[in-house]
Structure 1
Amino acid sequence: MLFTDLGLSEPILRAIAEEGYTSPTPIQAKSIPAVLKGGDLLAAAQTGTGKTAGFTLPILQRLSTTPKAGGKRVLRVLILTPTRELAAQVQESVVTYGKYTGLKSTVIFGGVGANPQIKAIAGGLDILVATPGRLLDLMSQNCVSLNDIEILVLDEADRMLDMGFLRDIKKILAALPKKRQNLLFSATFSTEIKQLADGLLNSPELIEVARSNSTNEAIAQLIHPVDRTKKHPLLAHLIQTNDWKQVLVFTRTKHGANKLVTQLEKDGITSMAIHGNKSQSARTKALADFKAGKLTALVATDIAARGIDIDQLPHVVNYDLPNVSEDYVHRIGRTGRAGSNGVAVSLVCVDEHQMLRDIEKLIKQKLPQEVIAGFEPDPNAVAQPIQLRSQQHHQSRKPRPSGASGGGAPAKKAPAKRSSPPKRSFNR
């Protein structure tokens, strides 16, 4: 199947072609026609399979071919995302593929000044991409009206629930017109997602392109048993001996991320951390430098990394296993995207054996283990309780204040132009 088979207009197809794309991914092939029909949609697909384009392309199509009566520009589409990084990437997708449609959009999120965002909204918009906290802030100041919303998108809905945004989402829903199209996209169909869908969606079309909580077969997964005190030396050893050029490393806590960056830098491995305590400018620089290949390692916590979308990222390392098993699927989904191969390595100490069992139960497979010579774990080591700190996302599931906004900043860059577009599918 080609994008030309999906009923998209010439301006949108031209923008897609300029980016070098010809064929939709499975989630796109199914969701684009569904969204164009105008009904509600509940869609689940593995991270990195192209959910963003699965809704941005048909939304651009609907708005550009069905102008508002009277010709006045009003806000017709609201896209909610859990993190700033993801919001920025959704907006980039809207801008890239809507550049010939004449539609206007902007993105709003916390951590930066609100005045430019307020000015952009006041200038007139068709599409608003937002994190819940900043949107509620601006709604409370009467800076944004949702009275004319025709389409609502909840992107990465499972992560929004994990981050405690349910109360914020309900406040936003109460301000929307009752008659609208609702699109709910999620990496998994958890019980909580199904409950949210039951209360939000009206006879939705259901799309699932991968088994729930399954992992991408293009990702080679490997466990390295190691003592907790040897994790850092082992990581440095793996990076240096294998000559890894780009590694996304997950830690359990913000403090752990900062500490690991300091250790890796002493080893001569260029690295930076990205998490909620980092300033907006630091997060922007870290993500931009990593994407540009200036950093070997980007060390991240789960919340900060959810929106990271890097083409052909070769390696993901779980320095610490996640406390929530589902996060393992999300983490390793950063690699092996859109048909490319990836490697996901987990450094597992005795404290994490139960976590590993829970993950293997979730994904319904036993993960291969390899002990690295020189880093053999002590067979007599005793497990210690893992400190579950308040800075972790799974402990922040209590309702957040309306001003809270997770995530980080966009890495601004112009879409690459290709004179002779290769035939491939894409994962945005």
Structure 2
Amino acid sequence: MRRLAAVALSATVASIAYAPPATAAPIYPIPDGDAFYWAPPDLAAFQPGDVLRSRPMPTDAYPGATAWQLLFRTTNSQNAPIAAVTTVLISAGGGNDRPLVSYQPIINSLGTQCAPSHSLFDGSMDEAPALNLLLARGWALAIPDHLGPTSAFGAAQLGGRVTLDGIRAAKRFGPAGLGASPVGLAGYSGGGMATGFAVAMAPDYAPELPIVGAAQGGVPVNIGKLARDLGAMPNPLFGLGFAAAMGLEREYPGEIRLERILNPAGDALEAQIANACSSEIISAGANRSFRDVFSGAMDADPDTVRILHENSLETYPGVPRVPIYQWHGTADEVNPWLVREVTGRYCAAGTPVLLDLIPGADHNGAIYTGAPRAFNYLSDRFAGLPAPSNC
């Protein structure tokens, strides 16, 4: 939560934007040792959102709640079947078909052990206390591992698919009693990217889901422009950007290639953080710049440009068809004026958007001001109240 996704994503783009061809494969994470996460051999026989297996989870950190983890079938960026996990939390009381919120946490990591399905229960998720506020409203929660099974940090379209199929899985899982539940989505920063892509993709990818609204904050809407603005100079959070470059290479193997442009320091950093969580990634890459880990000229590569556009909401053609609460600090390192432009495009398409620009707030500060407003916004959508808009 306290980390600036702006720098992470800026480094992502500048690191990969002009990669020449290479034959080396991406460095993938060590597979999770827990067999629950393993995809069955007949995965292609299932439909997106089908539950493959489930298990109950302890809820010491979520008093009174009931929890399950669901392995479900989803789709990667090459339209191939993959398996992913979502964690479903049900508050005490409330009965069946209560409101369901899909909450996309901030995940700045490359190791599978850093995913929400782990961090929700080992005390490492900064956002976990906020989930109790949502449960206290009587809502159910679905918290997806939206980076997918290879922890493809930076692949925002993948995050949208995993999020939508995680909602499908939660609704299809009979013991949760959510089959007819209305759905809201929420997320900030990287979690806001997954949220934003989910609602933009939903009309085509999951039109049957009864989504009543979404709340997304601090969203980097164009990772290429973010690189132009913030990616050239040494930065204490450079490691996050380098990690996101690795994550995109994992999701687009053979199209995004890092091996030919890495110098020895880059090779060493890649190996060091291939299975790391956020704090180790930040420490390993602190105060480096692109010139420290890459060598040679970087000429524009059409595949990379296309992939960056596909994973940026500003250039993704899909438009949400549900009400949106979008919040952003005016002093955010993630350009708030680009968010205004995207909001304008959504408004022109008829989507009611409430854009809340928080005066003087930076990326870290805006989440604390906007999150309570976001939760109240979703509450009003569940209550069927007319959606406010400042289009």
Looking at CA atoms only, which structure, 1 or 2, has the larger radius of gyration?
1
Higher relative contact order (CA 8 A, sep 6+): 1
TM-score class, shorter-chain normalisation, is under 0.3
TM-score (norm 1): 0.25
How does the TM-score come out when normalised to structure 2? 0.27
